[in-house]
Amino acid sequence: MDYVENKLSLGEQREAALARTAQHVLTAWKEFDAARDHESLPSEALHQFLTTPLPRDGSDVLDVIDRAVAVLDSSLAQSRPRYFAFIGSAGLEVGALADLLAHSYDTNLAVDARAATELEWQAVSWLAQFIGFPAQTGTFTSGGTISNITALASAREAAIPGVREHGLDGRRPTLYCSVEAHYSITRAAEVLGIGSANVRAVAIDAQRRMRADALREQLRRDLTDRYTPVAIVATTGTTLTGAIDPIGQLADVAEEFGVWLHVDGAYGVPAAAVASRAQLFDGLDRAHSVTVDCHKWMFVPKACSAVLVRDGASLAKAFAHEEAYMPHAGGHYNAVDITLEYSRPFRALKLWMLFSTHGADAVREAIERNCLQAQMLFDWVQQRPLFETLRSRPQLSIVPFRAVVEGCPNINDHNDALCSAIQRDGRIYLSPATIDGGVWLRPCFTNFRTTSDDVAALLDVAEELGGVCRILHQ
Ligand SMILES: Cc1ncc(COP(=O)(O)O)c(C=O)c1O
């Protein structure tokens, strides 16, 4: 076989390199099926290796692949069933295969890429059908932060037509979200010239959901003071506790005041597709735009988020443009006309391969299982005298709980130390969160591999390490 004389081709080592990679991937997938006893930490040799200077000459690709795997094996992997920190993704197997395929062809979804562009539209449509949102169009982005900025740029253009050309022109825009909305909403306000000081953090109720009455009052005050409301952002669910803002009530307010309603469902909106949770999302179809992070609770690897809009023209009003080097083929908008980005990887493929391979019902079942695990943990924690939970049951799959050791001088320091001890211990991994000034352990279930045994292990490890206040403070 003739290979192109090219030092950047793997040439005759192609098959061996693919086989070695496939072998490592298979080992990892099998290992992810069950929890391992301890995380492996980076060795001293690995630390040293990761400070070596730029190599002038290359090395054998098989050695390089082995080294890359050594790095990955000594890193936190969200694919593992006992990774409960933040809001993890889960490294779905067909998602990883999709990435390998997409990156090999390196299709650019900036302008019309023929079949890949059609597949992206189909994936947008499948996602909209899955969550029950009547999207006319949408686009894939690198994450919830960018999806939120993209949607809110459209909202800004709708509230202040021509703003992208003329700037704010003396207007004083405002944005409305719950006090527990994700920071990306503040970031959007900053980059869109709204200003973080003009983000109205609306009060929440006992279940930590945005209060529609407080929102209405704030809007009335702001309109009297001649502010220009750009959007109301409903979070479903919040990063802190998984609370779902009452979309229907917020849609009533949005319609009353003629304001854009954006749903930040980066984490939680896939649960709208699940029978036991669907009613919590009533009113979703009345939103103008929705953010969904497929790299959170749709299980595919990062980075894969989507922004969906009810009015097909709204994204284009904010982003469409003419450039001599950007042809408009086929009479439709290019992706660069409806997104912030230019060069765009083929993110849609992994979601498409998820639905094509496993079907929507399997995704629903996995989300439902995570919701049940949250309810289970909430009930189990109630039965252990050492711990307490928040008063209200989890709405989605986040279950804050904390140790309350009798006589402990500082319950927050204790829980902080407990969380660090759990991370050092390595049997499970979770992160802390501050809720109403208190430090809580905050496990989140978004992994299709997690079993009820893993949930039980979480509580057992926390109890074993959390019972002895004295030890944690040494
Ligand atoms: C509700 C919510 N919105 C937005 C984001 C930002 O998403 P990303 O990290 O994909 O940018 C997060 C991240 O956790 C989130 O929980």
At position 372, the amino acid (one-letter code) is L
d(CA 389, CA 391): 6
Cα-to-centroid distance, 132 and ligand 1 (Å): 20
Q: Which atom of ligand 1 is nearest to the CA of 147?
A: 11
What digits encode the pLDDT tens for the residues 285-303? 999 999 999 999 999 999 9
Query: Atom 7, ligand 1: which residue's CA is nearest?
Result: 144
The reported pLDDT for the residue numbered 472 is 63
- Provide CB contacts within 8 A for 44, sequence distance 6+: none
Instruction: Output the CA 266–ligand 1 centroid distance in Å.
Output: 6
Q: How far is the CA of 147 from the centre of ligand 1 (A)?
A: 9
For residue 318, the model assigns a pLDDT of: 97
Question: With a threshold of 0.85, does the pTM exceed it?
Answer: yes
Ligand 1 atom at minimal distance to the Cα of residue 87: 14
- Rounded Cα distance, 267 and 388, in Å: 25
Q: According to the model, what pLDDT value does residue 1 have?
A: 54
Check residue 341 and give its pLDDT: 95
184, 238, 241, 269, best to mutate for ligand 1 pocket (most atoms within 8 Å of CB) = 184
Choose the weakest-confidence range: 1-10, 367-376, 455-464.
Answer: 1-10
Tokens of 401: 């709980």
CA angle, corner 321, sides to 317 and 327, nearest 5?
Answer: 130
Mutate which of 180, 182, 210, 442 for ligand 1 pocket (most atoms within 8 A of beta carbon): 182
Which tens digit of pLDDT belongs to each residue from 232-269?
999 999 999 999 999 999 999 999 999 999 999 999 99
CA of 274 to the centre of ligand 1 (A): 21
pLDDT band at 406 (very low <50, low <70, confident <90, very high): confident
Q: How far is it, in rounded angstroms, from Cα 292 to Cα 269?
A: 6
**Side-chain half-sphere CA neighbours of 382 within 13 A:** 9
Ligand 1 atom at minimum distance from 265 CA: 1
Task: Measure 470 CA to ligand 1 centroid, in angstroms.
Answer: 37
Residue 182 alpha carbon to ligand 1 centre in Å: 7
Residue 140 Cα to ligand 1 midpoint, Å, equals: 14
Ligand 1 atom nearest to 145, measured from its CA: 11
pLDDT of residue 252: 98
Nearest to 199 by CA among 210, 453, 167: 210
Q: Which residues line ligand 1 (CB under 6 A)?
A: 87, 143-145, 148, 182, 184, 235, 239, 264, 266-267, 293, 305
For residue 303, count other CB atoms closer than 10 A to its CB: 18
CA of 304 to the centre of ligand 1 (A): 11
Ligand 1 atom closest to Cα of residue 303: 10
pLDDT value of position 38: 84
Would you state the torsion angle of the CA atoms of residues 290, 291, 295, 300, taken in this order, to the nearest 10 degrees?
A: 30
Model pLDDT, residue 372: 98
* pLDDT, tens digit (0-9, with 9 covering 90-100), for 300-327: 999 999 999 999 999 999 999 988 777 7
Q: Which atom of ligand 1 is nearest to the CA of 302?
A: 10
pLDDT at res. 354: 98
Q: What average pLDDT does this structure show over 53-68? A: 97
| pLDDT tens column, 341-352 | 999 999 999 999
Q: Hey, what amino acid is at 128?
A: A
What percentage of the chain has pLDDT greater than the value 70?
97
Helix (H) or strand (E) holding 234: strand 228-235
- pLDDT for res 327: 73
Residue position matching structure tokens 């939103």: 287
What is the pLDDT at residue 19? Answer: 98
Class of 106-354 in CATH: alpha beta
The order of strands in the sheet holding 173-178 is 137-141, 305-309, 289-293, 260-264, 228-235, 173-178, 199-202
Sign, Cα dihedral of 82, 88, 94, 99: negative
Q: What is the pLDDT of residue 4?
A: 53
Q: How far is the CA of 265 from the centre of ligand 1 (A)?
A: 9
Residue 470 has pLDDT above 70, yes or no: no
Amino acid at 252: D
- How high is the mean pLDDT of the chain? 95
How large is the average pLDDT for residues 327-337? 81
Helix axes 247-257, 212-224, angle to 10 degrees: 20
* Domain range list for the chain: 106-354
Question: Is residue 94 predicted with pLDDT exceeding 70?
Answer: yes
Give the residue, by CA position, lying nearest to ligand 1 atom 4: 144
What's the CA-to-centroid distance between 412 and ligand 1, angstroms? Answer: 26
Q: How far apart, in whole angstroms, are the C-alpha atoms of residue 346 and residue 122?
A: 13
**If pLDDT is split at 50, 70 and 90, which confidence band does 3 have?**
low
* Cα separation values, 381 from 28, 384, 391, Å: 32, 5, 12
Closest CA to 263 of 249, 279, 278, 247: 247
Confidence at residue 328, expressed as pLDDT on a 0 to 100 scale: 75
* Residue 360 predicted with pLDDT over 90: yes
